[in-house]
Structure 1
């Protein structure tokens, strides 16, 4: 599913060099990104232990403001599991008004509490259930209307989770409604349809001072194929201390049934994740995670250390 346009290493290096030169000459071009590296040890009951370390992901984000309310965004990434660099996102945006904007190209779905990128996570790992309940990178057109207390979005895409799909005969549709009754509280709901696939994602978050609380509920039909049904949820709390230390606690659970109602995947996990902000560019994340597999019986414990550099 995670296939993007490939760039050769030479082309990727040239693109980065040209963009850096352009930044020095034109303040309309912005460059950012991150370097993500980690050590991960997993101990599975009845199985072998694994130890992996290295650079997980490098990403460069390029943005250009043409003026006249038109902007362009291109994200280039390298992942250790891929061969070379990839174009992750590439889209243009037009601000119809202060509240309404339209974008077209390849972009990430709005859905899901947990982000696709490590820079948006409160801990090292994602739940692992995003493939059943969230949209992914998509190609199409999306409109967003937002105000201080309300937002709505509609995306019409070739595939809810197909970044390279070009078949638009039977498009997928993703809708979002969001409410922000106060500056500390947000509620969002997403309903997406693509053929027989239907996904519902809802989450609420409360954030004040150093405390963030979040809860998410999901359900879907046919995301695992063969008429399957799935549901899942998470509960999360994060607190940031004054000395740069942070702590995240998370519990998540999900299950998938086949067309006959038999459960073939039933997973849950408890995650404890301290973190330390070394400076404005370097974040260290530590994680201890306990996974339970109620169907396969392959319970596991994992320990991770992550260094995340943003620029």
Structure 2
């Protein structure tokens, strides 16, 4: 575990949770997913978060996933975990994360209740005080901090970043331009490549990439082109890869997760197109649509077409 009080920057890897046909976690497939992300130079690993079906794994499964991730990563990059939901569960998962040497956690919303800012602050405070790990605030659903409450929360040195999954740009401007570099700013919108050009000018220097689970070299190509103002390359990547995948993603609820598994299966990674309810697997027609986009993407942007880090 690192004591550095700094959020990860760059392209962040969010492994999925692969299940076998019996519905159990496929540990071999999960191991390969993590290794694939490391091989492709993702700057951090976020295990058992939203794309990892955090809501659907047991405490025992969660611990085995965290233990596997920290062991495989072996301090090459930071490892963050997902904690949230019921406060007791969140505190238990925070302790597990600390026990297995994670660098920090991404704090997801509390279960169901939409509380006042004071209540939200107390929820986060309880988690922050339970360990000394770094924490990233996740703005989404029923957990959206306004400026005053966030100012109070960042008095705790453990809070190193804010991940936005809402897209309220007025609020984003108020937060980033008031708080500045006290926090790291992470774009956590669905298919974050779509919105990243709007986030970079505000100080966001990091994002979670769903497609990095199966076409990470394209994530890298896109981000490098964006940061270096290669507008035509960005436009072509939107036209050929990013927007077509995003259109498929929007056809069914839950595809933000299950479409990742379909993409991984298409490129030959050992993962079945299986998910846990309430998420549904990708329908055959949508699977075929994704397969066409991925095949075209790999033809136009071969895997060995790598670009240097910016």
TM-score, scaled relative to structure 1 = 0.28
Q: Which has the higher helix share?
A: 2
Q: Which has the higher strand share?
A: 1
TM-score, scaled relative to structure 2 = 0.28
Please tell me whether Structure 1 or Structure 2 has the larger radius of gyration of its CA atoms: 1
